[in-house]
Homo-oligomer: A and B are copies of this chain.
Amino acid sequence: MKPLILITNDDSYEARGIRTLIEVARSFGDVVVMAPMYNASGYSHSFTAMRPLRVRELHQEPGCSIYACDGTPVDCIKLAHEHYCPRQPELVLSGINHGSNASINVLYSGTMGAVVEASVLGMQAIGFSTIDHSPETDFTAAVPFVHRIIGEVLRNGLPNLVSLNVNFPVPANGIIKGMRVCRQASARWLDSYEKRMDPQGRPYYWITGRFECDDCSPDTDQWALQNDYVSIVPTTPDFTDFKALQQMARRFDG
């Protein structure tokens, strides 16, 4: 039997990135797509507990079912896994996100929230993103790497609870140099809220921000992307800081 691949994203089912990912995935097996109805960027690992979820069937043909859900990317994975997959998926894919999920962006990412959730549920999972956030992104240079990474994971698997955070560069000459397995660079968003007044004179705030990274050694995802390599970060759902764990035992134990 062909492998079953479950697909989601956070840009909604209409995005070009998920269309590209569906095409590539179909060359490997059957696909079930459950994507957010609306843009769910910045939804991180959030799920919907306070209201029920709705699902719309968008497309149905042998080997390819496409649904949209009015929840978060994590909701999409949880609900599709239980109710919309005819068998256990061999692989979960998320993306291709329009915008970087490298470095600290992984924290806010709905694309990667879905991927980490899939790994916790015991499935192998890969998130794909490109640093170009235009809705018109051209994925031509990225597609051969999407093929190679999916093929490699289907053949040889991933360690238990480990998922992949894959980001694509946008080289000036259009040529991606290769792939690098790397660590997440330490960085932050310096946010600035723009305060405006509504017509009734009441204030409201729009978020704006500037990405600041001072950790660009050659073992980081930021270095890889800046040097025209695909970055691949093995990602864990364990937030424990093991170095601090050693240092801190004596301060609080007892």
Contact = CB atoms under 8 A, between A and B. Distances in A.
Given A39-B50, A45-B107, A179 B235 contact: no
A113 B83 contact: no
Contacts of A113: 44
Chain A, interface size category, equals: 35 or more
Given A45-B44, A107-B45, A179 B253 contact: yes
Contact of A152 (B48, B121, B251): B251
Contacts of A29: none
A26 interface: no
Contacts of A48: 42, 207
Nearest to A219: B245
Given A46-B43, A82-B191, A83-B195, A53 B207 contact: yes
One complex includes copies of this chain to the number of 2
Interface of A: 39, 41-50, 52-55, 74-75, 78-79, 82-83, 104, 106-108, 110, 113, 116-117, 120-122, 149, 152, 156, 158-159, 161-162, 165, 178-184, 186, 188, 191-193, 195-196, 202-207, 232-245, 247-249, 251-254
30 contacts: A42-B50, A43-B44, A43-B46, A47-B108, A47-B207, A49-B207, A52-B206, A74-B108, A78-B191, A78-B207, A79-B205, A82-B192, A83-B205, A106-B239, A107-B117, A107-B120, A107-B237, A107-B239, A122-B188, A149-B252, A152-B251, A152-B252, A159-B243, A159-B244, A178-B254, A181-B248, A183-B240, A234-B244, A235-B240, A236-B241
